Amino acid sequence: MRSKMRSLKAVPAAALCAFILSGQIRSATTVNSAVSVSIASFCLIAVTSSSVSLTITNPSTPGSVPANTTNSSTYAQYSSTVASGVTRRITAAWETGNSAPSGCDLRLQATPGSGQGSSAGQIVVSTTAQNIVTGIGGCATGTGATSGAQLAFTLFINAMTSLVAGQSTSATLTLTMTDS
């Protein structure tokens, strides 16, 4: 009996609630709900290969300067979210104490994909950070083998008489993505 009574009570109560709710749906115009959303500020960069090799070899014609050797096989890939009005850039610099072989300098030009910032043109790599990509907003370059900003390295001969045959130099280049 008690359970029947409870269920009998429950029915009108439920009906009342349904009536009230439907009444609210019909009568209330706006319900505010405070939803907090936060976009984290991402700034991540990687390269498709940790090593690049460049070798100066025989010129095609005796008496001529050997061709500057190039390597465009690697890419800088990055993900970035920025606050409104803010952009980022990528800089390049030798690690402290690193340099190109004597008689040479290393030149670098980064060519980003569409919407991934703008190339700052070719730089001569030094121990001072220099821009290679600027104007990076919110973007993700992708992680495919040829996604991102293509890194075109050129080992440029600037003083033929200073070249040292057999000299092999492994130098570390740091790419940094940072707020502009």
Q: Does residue 63 interact with another protein by CB under 8 A?
A: yes
Backbone φ and ψ for 144, nearest 5 degrees, come out as -65, 165
Q: Does residue 145 interact with another protein by CB under 8 A?
A: no
Neighbours of 33 (CB within 10 A): 4
Q: Does residue 40 interact with another protein by CB under 8 A?
A: yes
Binding-site residue total for another protein (CB under 8 A)?
60
Task: Output the smallest distance, CB 148 to another protein, in A.
Answer: 11
- What CA–CA distance (Å, rounded) separates 117 from 114? 7
Q: Does residue 133 interact with another protein by CB under 8 A?
A: no
Query: How many angstroms separate the Cα of 116 from the Cα of each of 39, 80, 111, 141?
Result: 19, 9, 9, 7
63: left (phi over 0), alpha (psi -120 to 50) or beta: left
Interface residue with another protein, options 30, 32, 33, 50 (CB under 8 A): 50
Closer residue to another protein in complex, CB, 47/140: 47
Closer residue to another protein in complex, CB, 22/102: 102
Footprint on this chain of another protein (rule: CB under 8 A): 36, 38, 40-47, 49-59, 61-66, 74, 76, 78, 81, 95, 100-101, 103-104, 106, 151, 153, 155, 160-179
